[in-house]
């Protein structure tokens, strides 16, 4: 449970910080078309996929004890790696856009890898949750 809480706090700080960076970076470079850069998406990705998801995981762990299962560690590290890769590539791509530079296919590829890791992490989370939910349901039914 502690790891989910710490992750949630870290993503809250990173999410708020990335929003501040977006605002100041675009203002410093006189980039008026802020809606057409991926830099603004870093803020929402970190807050929703990081802060909010780990708060929900914290609640699910409290209710079902999902962190006690072996899949939780796999979920935790895979999901975090995916979110960090995704957010970092959004920041790089968005910063390049603000600076007037073009992005490369490598940036898109790494962002895609981040999304794949996020998906695998979510599958692991749902598998871990399903094992705890149905495991408890079977135990209640048999008793």
pLDDT at 31: 87
Return the axis-axis angle of helices 71-99 and 105-142, rounded to nearest 10°. Answer: 150
Return the axis-axis angle of helices 53-64 and 2-28, rounded to nearest 10°. Answer: 170
Residue 142 — very low, low, confident or very high, per pLDDT cuts 50/70/90? very low
Find the angle CA(63)-CA(68)-CA(71) to the nearest 5 degrees: 110
pLDDT at 143: 42
- The per-residue b/e assignment along 109-122, b for 16 or more CB within 10 angstroms, e otherwise, is ebbeebeebbebbb
pLDDT at 75: 97
Please tell me the distance from the alpha carbon of residue 44 to that of residue 1, in angstroms, as a whole number: 24
Q: State percent of the chain over pLDDT 90.
A: 81
Instruction: Quote the pTM value.
Output: 0.89
The ranges assigned to domains in the chain are: 2-134
């Amino acid at each position: 449970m502690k790891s989910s809480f710490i992750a949630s706090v870290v993503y809250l700080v990173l999410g708020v910080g990335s929003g501040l960076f977006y605002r100041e970076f675009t203002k410093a470079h006189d980039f008026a078309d802020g809606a057409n850069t991926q830099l603004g998406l870093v803020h929402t990705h970190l807050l929703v996929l990081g802060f909010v998801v780990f708060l929900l995981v914290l609640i699910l762990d409290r209710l079902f004890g999902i962190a006690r299962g072996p899949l939780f560690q796999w979920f935790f590290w895979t999901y975090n790696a995916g979110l960090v890769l995704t957010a970092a590539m959004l920041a790089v791509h968005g910063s390049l856009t603000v600076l007037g530079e073009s992005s490369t296919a490598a940036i898109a590829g790494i962002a895609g890898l981040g999304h794949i890791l996020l998906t695998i992490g979510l599958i692991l989370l749902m598998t871990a949750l399903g094992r705890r939910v149905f495991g408890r349901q079977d135990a209640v039914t048999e008793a």
